Structure 1
Amino acid sequence: MKMIKPNIIFGNSNLIFFKSLLKIFNIKKNYIKIEKFKDNEYNIKFLKKFNNKNIFLLQSLSNPIHDNLINLFLIINSLKKICKKVFLIIPYFCYSRQDKLFNINSPISIKLISNILDYFNIEKILTIDSHANNFECYFNTSIKILKSTSLIVNDIVKNNIIIEMIISPDIGGVLRAKHLANYLNLELVIIDKRRPISNHIKIFCVIGNIKFKNCLIIDDIIDTGNSIIEVTNFLFFHSIKSVIIYITHAIFSNNSYIKIINSKIKKLIITDTINFINNYNKIKILTTKYLFIEEMKNIMIEEYEI
C-alpha cells in the first residue's frame, strides 16, 4: 500500500535537517513563507490551503531561541484556525534545563513554555532525548520523547568501537547512561558532579573502577563544553585509557567545539537536532531524521491517512 505524502511545513530553524527529512518523503517545497517587517516583527504567509488537514509542523528551538519560539507560536496560531490536527516536531527543546527552582522566586521556565503550547491544543509533540527525566509531566498535551540509544549502538557496532565502560557525567544522567549500559551489557560508572553556579562544576568523586578502561560518556546536551572537558580531565587523572562522547544536542555556545578539538577527547559524536557545519575529524554527526520519520509514519497510520 502506497504511503500518502504527509502535509509538512517548517519554520526557520535547522533548515538542513528539515529539508533532508522532506526529501525522504519526496516533498520539494515548504508551503510557508516567513518574512520580517522593518521592525523585525514576523509576517507569516501560507502558500497552500490546509483546510481540515492533518499537519506536521517542524521547528527546532535552538539559537536564536526567542525568534524561533515566536516563529513557532505564530505558525501554530494560524494553523489551528484551519487545520484538523497539528503534530509538532521539536528536535531540540529550549528551556528544558530550567525544569526546577534554582533560586527563590525564579521561574520554572519549561513549565511556562509547556503552558503556552498546551493553550494551542496541539494533537501531539515529538522530541528526542529530553533533559529532564520528568519532562512529560510539564505538559497536558500528548508528548513522545524519542531515544537516540539505537543510533549510538548502531554506530558502535558498525565502526567496531571498543567500549569497556559507560559513564554518566552526573547523577541526573544516570537513567540515560544505565539504559545504554544495559543495552550493551557493560558496567555503569557515575561521576558525582555538582554545579555551585551556572556553567561551573565541582567534581567530588567517581563511583566505579575506570582505571585503564576505554570509556564512553553519554549526555543529552553540550553547551559551553566546560563541564565535559573537566570531566574528561578528571577521568584521565584517574588513569582511563581513552574516552569518546555521545551527545544528542550540540549547542556549542561561543564556538565551544574548539575546546573539544583541543582536548583529550578521542571522538565527539553528536546528532543533527541543532544545525552544525562540521569540518573536524574529531566530531561526527549522526542523523535522527529516520527516528522522526518512523514516528510520523506511525501517526499517519493511526490517523488513517494511508
Structure 2
Amino acid sequence: MKISKPNIIFGDSNLNFFKSLLKIFNIKINYIKIEKFKDNEYKIQFLKKFNEKIIFILQSLSNPIHDNLINLFLIIDSLKKICIKKIYLIIPYFCYSRQDKIFNENSSISIKLISNLFDFFNVNKIITLDPHSSNFECCFNTPLKILKSTSLFVNDIVKNNISFDIIVSPDIGGVLRAKNLANYLNLELVIIDKRRPISNYIKIFCIIGNVEFKKCIVVDDIIDTGNSIIEVTNFLFFNKINTVIVYITHSIFSEKSFIKIYNSKINKLIVTDTINFNYFNDKIKIITTKYLFIEEIKKIILEKYEI
C-alpha cells in the first residue's frame, strides 16, 4: 500500500530540528509563511492548499515561550478556518509543566490555564516528551501521548559501551524516571533528598544509598540555571563519587548556564535536541529525539489506512 506524504508544518521554534525531521519524509519545504510586524505581532499564511484533512504541527514551546505559544495558536486557528478535520501537535518541549500546583494563595495553576487554551482549539492529539509534572496528563481534556527519553539514554549508553555502577535520582520527584533507567540497565538506584524552599535555591538533606568510589549516571528532565545539578554533583563528589555523567531531556540553559556546566565537576552532560542549542564542546553532547516523533507520526498515518 502506497502511503502519501504527511502534511507537516512547523512553527518558529527549533527550526534545525524540525527541518531534519522533515527530511525523513522527503519534505523539503515548510508550507507556511510566518511573518512579524514591527510591533512583533504575527501574521500566518499558508503556501499550499491541503487536500488531505489531516495535518501535523511541530512547535517546541521553549524560549521565547509566549511568542511560540501565540505562534502555535494562530497556526491552529488558521487551519480550523480552512476546515482541516484532524490536527496533531508535536510539542517536544512543553512550557509551564513545572507549574502544576498553587504556589501561594490565589495564584494560578499555570499548566491548567495553558491546557484550557489547547482544549479550546479541540485538536485531536498532543504528542510531547518528558513533561516535568507527574500531574501533567490530568490537566488536559485533549488526548495526550507522552513519550519517554529513557530508551534514547539507554541506546546512547550501550552504543558507547559506557560502564556505570549506579543511577542517581537528583530528587524524590525524579525517582520513577531514574528507576526506569536503572531497571533497563540492571543497576542500583540511589536517591538524593533535595528540596527547594524558594525558587532557584536548593537544600540537600541526605543521600539514600552508597556512592563511594562509584561511577554514576544522574538523570533528570530539565536543566535550567544549572545550579541544582551542579549542587548535586558537588554533593556526590563530597561523598567520594568517582565519576558523574548527567543525562537531561530538555536543555533550557537560562542565561547561558551551559558555561557553568562546562566549568563544573560534571564529567559529561548529554542533552537532547527538543530545545535549540548550538553550543558544542567536549563536555556537552546532544542526542536526537526526532525518531521518537517520527514513529508516532507514522503510527497515526497508518491508523488512517486501517480497515
Q: TM-score range by the shorter chain?
A: over 0.9
Question: How far apart are 1:70 and its partner, in Å?
Answer: 0.5
**Other-structure match for 1:210:** 211
For the 8 Å contact 2:123–2:142, the answer to whether it is kept is: yes
Aligned residue identity for 2:233: T
Measure, in 2, the Cα distance between the counterparts of 1:255 and 1:113: 27
- Equivalences, count: 306
Could you tell me which runs of 5 or more consecutive residues in structure 2 were left unpaired when the two chains were aligned.
none
1:77-226 to 2 correspondences below 5 Å: 77-81=77-81, 82-226=83-227
Q: Percentage identity across aligned positions?
A: 77
- Is 2:84 the counterpart of 1:76? no
**Other-structure match for 1:290:** 291
**Other-structure match for 2:21:** 21
Measure, in 1, the Cα distance between the counterparts of 2:156 and 2:106: 44
TM-score, normalised via structure 2 length: 0.98
Secondary structure of 1:141 counterpart = coil
For the 8 Å contact 1:191–1:205, the answer to whether it is kept is: yes
Measure, in 2, the Cα distance between the counterparts of 1:198 and 1:265: 23
Secondary structure of 2:20 counterpart = helix
- Is 2:54 the counterpart of 1:54? yes
Measure, in 2, the Cα distance between the counterparts of 1:76 and 1:173: 33
For the 8 Å contact 1:52–1:84, the answer to whether it is kept is: no
- Is 2:41 the counterpart of 1:44? no
Measure, in 2, the Cα distance between the counterparts of 1:305 and 1:49: 25
Measure, in 2, the Cα distance between the counterparts of 1:206 and 1:103: 29
For the 8 Å contact 2:195–2:204, the answer to whether it is kept is: yes
Give the CA RMSD over aligned residues.
1.2
Aligned residue identity for 2:269: L
Question: How far apart are 1:142 and its partner, in Å?
Answer: 0.6
Measure, in 2, the Cα distance between the counterparts of 1:294 and 1:39: 39
For the 8 Å contact 1:110–1:138, the answer to whether it is kept is: yes
For the 8 Å contact 2:126–2:142, the answer to whether it is kept is: yes
Secondary structure of 1:87 counterpart = strand
Measure, in 2, the Cα distance between the counterparts of 1:99 and 1:74: 25
Question: How far apart are 1:304 and its partner, in Å?
Answer: 2.0
Aligned residue identity for 1:69: L
Measure, in 1, the Cα distance between the counterparts of 2:4 and 2:271: 32
Residue by residue, what CA displacement relative to the aligned partner does 1:6-48 show, whole Å, maximum 9, x if unpaired?
A: 0000000000000000001000000000001222211110111
Question: How far apart are 1:51 and its partner, in Å?
Answer: 5.2
Measure, in 1, the Cα distance between the counterparts of 2:261 and 2:10: 31
Question: How far apart are 1:303 and its partner, in Å?
Answer: 1.9
Residue by residue, what CA displacement relative to the aligned partner does 1:171-207 show, whole Å, maximum 9, x if unpaired?
A: 1101101111111111111110011110110000001
Measure, in 2, the Cα distance between the counterparts of 1:249 and 1:298: 24
Moved more, 12-21 or 182-191: 182-191
For the 8 Å contact 2:217–2:244, the answer to whether it is kept is: yes
Moved more, 96-105 or 267-276: 96-105
Aligned residue identity for 2:78: S
Secondary structure of 1:80 counterpart = helix
